[in-house]
């Protein structure tokens, strides 16, 4: 892939909705009906909690427990919680003992505080050992399976339905052991084919929302680190771990399905809203903010927060970010 062309295409993402709005040049995407918007009436609400990064430090378990109580106590309560990954602080380079303790803390909080259906996806920090040679044996399958077991997932990727919405949960964390981080952001071929078949077989009468840990398309990765400096002398350089490296391929797949309404992600502890080719891409920050740093709780401009998502039966989706002050 020509990186300069890729970055140039991405840099237009935040304004792409202007082009697509002026005559729908790129795709004849079916827009949500404007008749009697049902947001807040016959629709439903889900919370999106991503990047809680639990550990024994900085009172993280108590803060996460309080955040879940905050969600349950909302005047308009959600009917479920999308759990966006990075449930634990880190397993990529941690011992098995420390990783086991992090998962114990996470499951203790979930079991005691969550009284709603929880729909998890896998985050990069949930996977044990990919940043160490010990965990890279057998392609890293042990670490991914461990995360699945702790999250009570039978499959790495899956779907579920609520009313006339279809939710597709992806596994965006792919092993990449020669790059330093241990992972890259992409779909493996088996998963891509599953996604393609799933979209083909989903009724056009259903609206589709896609959940992944790592953003498929996002503006935030530009500002997560000094990426304008890293790319010198050629310009911006967005790391392959920050956003899906196969975003172009996924975007081209999405163009064939005009009932895809939104893609939800976390990973980057920043928040944005990008509309591209008629699809709303929401990167929803982090419940942990600056990894529960008590001296500086905000990561850049964004404090610990979670998202409330309101879905209407006519295909509208509204995101409200709720800062969480412990």
Give me the torsion for CA of 198, 245, 210, 200, rounded to 10°. Answer: -20
Give every CB contact of residue 319 below 8 A, 6+ residues apart in sequence: 273, 280, 282, 284, 307, 308, 309
Alpha-carbon radius of gyration of the chain: 19
Angstrom distance (rounded) from CA 127 to CA 92: 6
Spans in the chain with pLDDT lower than 70: 1-41, 325-326
pLDDT at 255: 98
pLDDT at 7: 35
Q: Would you give the DSSP letter of residue 107?
A: H
Give me the torsion for CA of 61, 62, 68, 70, rounded to 10°. Answer: -160
pLDDT at 230: 83
pLDDT at 13: 38
- Residue pair 289/299 in contact by the 8 Å Cβ criterion: yes
The closest of 148, 166, 165 to 156, measured between CA atoms, is 148
In the chain, the domains with their CATH numbers are 3-27+38-323 (3.60.21.10)
pLDDT at 17: 33
pLDDT at 236: 87
pLDDT at 32: 62
How far is the first Cα of the chain from the last one, in angstroms, to the nearest whole number? 44
pLDDT at 33: 55
pLDDT at 239: 87
């Amino acid at each position: 892939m020509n990186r300069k062309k890729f970055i140039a295409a991405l840099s237009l993402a935040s304004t792409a909705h202007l082009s697509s709005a002026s005559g729908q040049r790129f795709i004849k995407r079916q827009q949500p009906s404007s008749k009697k918007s049902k947001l807040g009436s016959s629709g439903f609400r889900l919370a999106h909690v991503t990047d809680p990064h639990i550990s024994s430090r900085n009172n993280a378990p108590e803060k996460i427990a309080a955040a879940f109580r905050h969600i349950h106590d909302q005047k308009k309560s959600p009917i479920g919680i999308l759990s966006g990954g990075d449930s634990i602080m880190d397993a990529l380079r941690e011992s098995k003992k420390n990783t086991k303790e992090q998962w114990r803390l996470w499951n203790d909080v979930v079991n005691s505080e969550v009284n709603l259906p929880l729909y998890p996806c896998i985050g990069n920090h949930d996977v044990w050992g990919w940043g160490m040679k010990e965990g890279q044996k057998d392609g890293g399958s042990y670490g991914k399976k461990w995360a699945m077991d702790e999250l009570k997932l039978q499959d790495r990727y899956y779907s579920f339905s609520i009313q006339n919405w279809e939710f597709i949960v992806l596994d965006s964390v792919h092993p990449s052991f020669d790059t330093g981080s241990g992972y890259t952001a992409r779909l493996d071929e088996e998963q891509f084919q599953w996604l393609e078949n799933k979209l083909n077989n989903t009724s056009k009468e259903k609206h589709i929302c896609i959940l992944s840990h790592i953003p498929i398309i996002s503006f935030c990765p530009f500002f997560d680190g000094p990426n304008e400096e890293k790319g010198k002398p050629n310009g911006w350089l967005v790391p392959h771990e920050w956003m899906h490296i196969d975003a172009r391929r996924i975007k081209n797949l999405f163009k064939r399905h005009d009932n895809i309404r939104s893609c939800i992600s976390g990973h980057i502890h920043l928040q944005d809203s990008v509309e591209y080719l008629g699809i709303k891409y929401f990167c929803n920050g982090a419940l942990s903010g600056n990894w529960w740093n008590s001296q500086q709780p905000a990561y850049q401009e964004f404090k610990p927060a979670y998202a409330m998502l309101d879905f209407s039966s006519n295909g509208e989706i509204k995101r409200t970010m709720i800062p969480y002050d412990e």
